[in-house]
Structure 1
Amino acid sequence: MNEKALQRLEYDKIKETLMEHAISYVGKKHVEQMMPMTSSKVLRKKLDEVAEAKDLIQYGASVPIPSLEGIEQIVSLLGTGYVFSEKDFMHMTQFMTSVTQLMKYMASKSDIAPRVSTYAASMHPMSKLKSEIEQCIRHGQVVDAASKDLLKTRKRIAVFEERLKGKLDSLMSKYRTILQENMLSTRNGRYVLPIKKEYRKQVNGMVLDESASGQTVYMEPTEVSTLQFELTALRSEEEREVTKVLMQLSALAEEFTHEFQINVETVGAYDFLFAKAKYALALGAKNVQLNEDGVVLLREARHPLLGKKMVPLNFQIGRKYKSLVITGPNTGGKTLTLKTVGLLTIMVQSGLLVPVQEGSMFSIFSNIAVDIGDGQSIEHALSTFSAHIHNVIEILKITNDSTLVLIDEMASGTDPGEGVGLSIAILEELQKRGATVIATTHFNEIKNFASVTPGFQNARMEFDAETLQPLYRLKIGEAGQSYAFLIALKLGIPAEMIERSREITAKGFSSGAQPVQIYTEKEECVGIDEYPQGDQEQSDQMQDDTEVIDGVNEAAAHSSSETQMSVQKVDDTETEQAEPTEAAAPALQKPFEIGDCVFISYLGRTGIVFAAEDSKGNVGVMIQNQKYKINKKRMALHIEKKELYPSDYDMDIVFETKENRKKRKMMNRKYVEGLSIETKREDWQ
Structure 2
Amino acid sequence: MNKALEFNVIVEKLKELAISEAAKSQIEALKLMTDPVLIQRHLNETSEANEVLKMNTSVPVNGLEGIQQALEKLKRQEILRPKALESVGYFLKDCQRMTRFMSDKALVAPQIVTYADDISKLESLSEAIAHAIVHGQVDDRATQNLYKIRKKITEIEDRIKQKLNQFLTSSGYQHMFADAIVSQRDGRYVVPIKSEHKKSFDGNVLDRSRSGGTVFIEPAAVQKLQAEITALRGDEEQEVYKILSTLSNQIASEMRAIEINYEVMTHYDFIFAKGKLSRRMNGISALITQDGTIQIINGRHPLLGENAVPLNLTISVPKRHLVITGPNTGGKTVTMKTVGLFVLMTQAGLQIPCDAGTVLPIYDQVLCDIGDGQSIAQNLSTFSAHITNIIKIIHQATRNSLVILDEIGAGTDPTEGMGIGIAVLEALSKKAATILASTHYNEIKDFANNHPLFLNGSMAFNLMSLKPEYKLIIGESGESNALLIALRLGMDDELIERAHEVAYKTQKTSVHSKPTSDFRDKLKEYKHRQTHEVSSTVKNEPEVDQHERAKPNTQMATKLVKRRTPKFKIGDSVYIHTMKRNGIVVATEDQRGDITVQVMGKKFKINHKRLSLHIKSDELYPEDYDMDIVTKTKAFRKTEKRVRKGKEDVLIIREE
TM-score (norm: length of structure 2) = 0.73
Equivalent of 1:201, from 191, 199, 202? 199
* Post-superposition offset of 1:501: 7.0
* Post-superposition offset of 1:100: 0.9
1:360 aligns to 2:358 (yes or no): yes
In the aligned structure 2, how far is the partner of 1:395 from the partner of 1:15? 24
* Post-superposition offset of 1:496: 7.0
1:572 paired residue number: none
Residue 430 of structure 1 aligns with an amino acid whose one-letter code is L
CA contact (8 A) 1:373 1:383 kept: no
Residue 190 of structure 2 aligns with an amino acid whose one-letter code is V
Question: Could you say if the C-alpha distance between residues 213 and 333 of structure 1 is closer, same or farther in structure 2, counting changes exceeding 3 Å?
Answer: same
1:669 paired residue number: none
* Post-superposition offset of 1:206: 1.3
Question: Could you say if the C-alpha distance between residues 79 and 503 of structure 1 is closer, same or farther in structure 2, counting changes exceeding 3 Å?
Answer: closer
* Post-superposition offset of 1:78: 1.9
Equivalent of 1:107, from 103, 106, 116? 103
| 1:53-74 deviation digits (Å, cap 9, x = unpaired) | 1122124352222242221210
SS in 2 for 1:420: helix
* Post-superposition offset of 1:342: 0.9
Equivalent of 1:187, from 173, 185, 188? 185
1:246 paired residue number: 244
1:406 aligns to 2:408 (yes or no): no
Aligned counterparts, 1:467-482, within 5 A: 467-482=465-480
* Post-superposition offset of 1:368: 0.6
2:457 paired residue number: 459
| 1:432-475 deviation digits (Å, cap 9, x = unpaired) | 11100011111111111111111111111112132232221111
* Post-superposition offset of 1:146: 3.6
In the aligned structure 2, how far is the partner of 1:272 from the partner of 1:457? 40
1:89 aligns to 2:85 (yes or no): yes
In the aligned structure 1, how far is the partner of 2:422 from the partner of 2:141? 85
1:319 paired residue number: 317
Question: Could you say if the C-alpha distance between residues 496 and 165 of structure 1 is closer, same or farther in structure 2, counting changes exceeding 3 Å?
Answer: closer
CA contact (8 A) 1:30 1:268 kept: no
* Post-superposition offset of 1:134: 2.7
Equivalent of 1:285, from 279, 283, 286? 283
In the aligned structure 1, how far is the partner of 2:322 from the partner of 2:82? 65
* Post-superposition offset of 1:308: 1.8
Equivalent of 1:434, from 429, 432, 456? 432
* Post-superposition offset of 1:420: 1.6
* Post-superposition offset of 1:83: 0.6
Equivalent of 2:268, from 267, 270, 274? 270
Residue 479 of structure 2 aligns with an amino acid whose one-letter code is Q
Question: Could you say if the C-alpha distance between residues 200 and 427 of structure 1 is closer, same or farther in structure 2, counting changes exceeding 3 Å?
Answer: same
Equivalent of 1:127, from 100, 123, 127? 123
Equivalent of 1:118, from 114, 130, 153? 114
Question: Could you say if the C-alpha distance between residues 158 and 309 of structure 1 is closer, same or farther in structure 2, counting changes exceeding 3 Å?
Answer: closer
| 1:14-57 deviation digits (Å, cap 9, x = unpaired) | 11112222222222222222222111111111112211211221
1:161 paired residue number: 157
CA contact (8 A) 1:403 1:436 kept: yes
1:214 paired residue number: 212
Question: Could you say if the C-alpha distance between residues 546 and 431 of structure 1 is closer, same or farther in structure 2, counting changes exceeding 3 Å?
Answer: farther
1:60 paired residue number: 56
Moved more, 152-161 or 488-497: 488-497
Residue 425 of structure 1 aligns with an amino acid whose one-letter code is A
2:175 paired residue number: 177
In the aligned structure 1, how far is the partner of 2:57 from the partner of 2:598? 63
Gap runs ≥5 in structure 2: 375-379, 509-585, 587-596, 605-634, 640-656
SS in 1 for 2:301: coil
1:613 paired residue number: none
CA contact (8 A) 2:19 2:65 kept: no
Question: Could you say if the C-alpha distance between residues 129 and 367 of structure 1 is closer, same or farther in structure 2, counting changes exceeding 3 Å?
Answer: same
1:18 paired residue number: 14
Residue 459 of structure 2 aligns with an amino acid whose one-letter code is M
Question: Could you say if the C-alpha distance between residues 543 and 62 of structure 1 is closer, same or farther in structure 2, counting changes exceeding 3 Å?
Answer: closer
| 1:292-348 deviation digits (Å, cap 9, x = unpaired) | 232111111111111221211111223331111111111111111111111111111
SS in 2 for 1:480: coil
Question: Could you say if the C-alpha distance between residues 494 and 547 of structure 1 is closer, same or farther in structure 2, counting changes exceeding 3 Å?
Answer: closer
Moved more, 275-284 or 169-178: 169-178
Question: Could you say if the C-alpha distance between residues 189 and 499 of structure 1 is closer, same or farther in structure 2, counting changes exceeding 3 Å?
Answer: closer
Equivalent of 1:74, from 65, 70, 76? 70
1:40 aligns to 2:19 (yes or no): no
SS in 1 for 2:197: helix
In the aligned structure 1, how far is the partner of 2:147 from the partner of 2:279? 55
Moved more, 384-393 or 26-35: 26-35
CA contact (8 A) 1:459 1:480 kept: yes
| 1:472-509 deviation digits (Å, cap 9, x = unpaired) | 11111111111244335445566577667767877744
CA contact (8 A) 1:285 1:355 kept: yes
* Post-superposition offset of 1:394: 1.3
In the aligned structure 1, how far is the partner of 2:599 from the partner of 2:240? 87
Residue 367 of structure 1 aligns with an amino acid whose one-letter code is Q
* Post-superposition offset of 1:173: 3.6
In the aligned structure 2, how far is the partner of 1:264 from the partner of 1:295? 40
Question: Could you say if the C-alpha distance between residues 195 and 20 of structure 1 is closer, same or farther in structure 2, counting changes exceeding 3 Å?
Answer: same
TM-score (norm: length of structure 1) = 0.70
SS in 2 for 1:194: strand
2:232 paired residue number: 234
CA contact (8 A) 1:491 1:545 kept: no
In the aligned structure 2, how far is the partner of 1:69 from the partner of 1:23? 7
SS in 2 for 1:64: coil
CA contact (8 A) 1:292 1:365 kept: no
2:444 paired residue number: 446
| 1:403-435 deviation digits (Å, cap 9, x = unpaired) | 000001112111222222222111111111110
Question: Could you say if the C-alpha distance between residues 202 and 416 of structure 1 is closer, same or farther in structure 2, counting changes exceeding 3 Å?
Answer: same
In the aligned structure 2, how far is the partner of 1:383 from the partner of 1:317? 34
In the aligned structure 1, how far is the partner of 2:297 from the partner of 2:138? 62
**How many matched pairs?**
516
| RMSD (Å), alpha carbons | 3.0
Moved more, 146-155 or 50-59: 146-155
2:613 paired residue number: none
| 1:595-629 deviation digits (Å, cap 9, x = unpaired) | xxxxxxxxxxxxxxxxxxxxxxxxxxxxxxxxxxx
Identity of counterpart residues, as a percentage? 42
